[in-house]
Amino acid sequence: MKLVRYGQPGAERPGLIDAQGILRDLSAHARDIDGASLNDGLIARLHQIDPESLPVVEGAPRLGPCVAGSSKIVCIGLNYVDHAREGGREIPKEPLLFLKAPSSITGPNDPILIPRGSERTDWEIELAIIIGKDAHYVDEAHALDHVAGYALANDISERDHQLRRGGEWTKGKSHDTFCPLGPWLATTDELGEAGDIALTLEVNGVERQNGHTSNLIFGVAHAVAYISLFMTLKAGDIILTGTPAGVGQSIKPDPVFLGPGDVMTMAGSGLGRQSHEFQTA
């Protein structure tokens, strides 16, 4: 099942993409796709509905972030061997965690804002885990019971703010629009533990990243169980699982960063596509 939120920012409605790729309205069955509805068993209820009985949404409305009201975004750093090595870092023995502000979430085709004065804004395509049921001290064998599904995301980063402004990484990760999410939430019945997803990213038509979730150091179940040791994962929360090699700051001999007018497109098998133009904030 592919769940979406469509409409203007702040006024999105819940929807579903059926097997023919048609957008259908879910407003009669859900107030929104958010933590409260997911925790209340929304996905199980929707599985009882014939998608063809839902009203067709005409036209091509904007798609918003595929989940609303997330209390936090938990990110895993250096979770692909090739990405750790391209940055000259050791392979982590445990997941490296940091937080990204929920106010950074934006839609899958919305413009992305470059921070004022930035010269080192970078890309990081990622698989996002969407939590579907509150999780605290969850064991790995039951971790997937707490996952609603997955989405395509990008942990966009301002490298000066991340690495040269003191402290840990949150300052470089949290600018408005730095977490595009969607186009849809693909439920676990479609993608299981999401171990077979190809991830590709292009900037201005040039391929920059080409990775695969089979190369994650710490997979989905391990990530959910591990993070739940340190904090309660609430329904609607987002875990960004890390990026494969190919980020701009690691391009040799000259790093490449994003500027106004650049266009970034990315895709994940089973997760859809995104396209963004970069603008100055």
Q: Is the pLDDT of residue 118 over 90?
A: yes
Determine the pLDDT at residue 167.
Answer: 80
Determine the pLDDT at residue 145.
Answer: 97
The residues, ordered by sequence, that sit 6+ positions from 70 with a Cβ below 8 Å of its Cβ are: 35, 102, 105, 236, 237, 238
pLDDT-based confidence at 87, cuts 50/70/90? confident
pLDDT-based confidence at 78, cuts 50/70/90? very high
Token reading at 94: 């445990």
**CATH of the domain spanning 73-280, picked from 3.90.850.10, 3.40.50.720, 1.10.600.10, 3.40.50.300:** 3.90.850.10
Determine the pLDDT at residue 37.
Answer: 97
pTM for this structure?
0.97
Cα–Cα distance list, 59 to 18, 21, 28, 54, 268 (Å): 15, 13, 20, 16, 24
pLDDT per residue over 11-23, tens digit each? 999 999 999 999 9
Mean residue pLDDT of the chain comes to 96
pLDDT per residue over 242-269, tens digit each? 999 999 999 999 999 999 999 999 999 9
Domain boundaries, the chain: 2-53, 73-280
Determine the pLDDT at residue 168.
Answer: 83
Mean pLDDT in residue range 2-15: 98
pLDDT per residue over 204-225, tens digit each? 999 999 999 999 999 999 999 9
Q: Residue 17's closest CA among 63, 83, 86, 69?
A: 63
Rounded CA gap, 163 and 177, in Å?
20
Mean pLDDT in residue range 189-211: 96
Mean pLDDT in residue range 120-133: 98
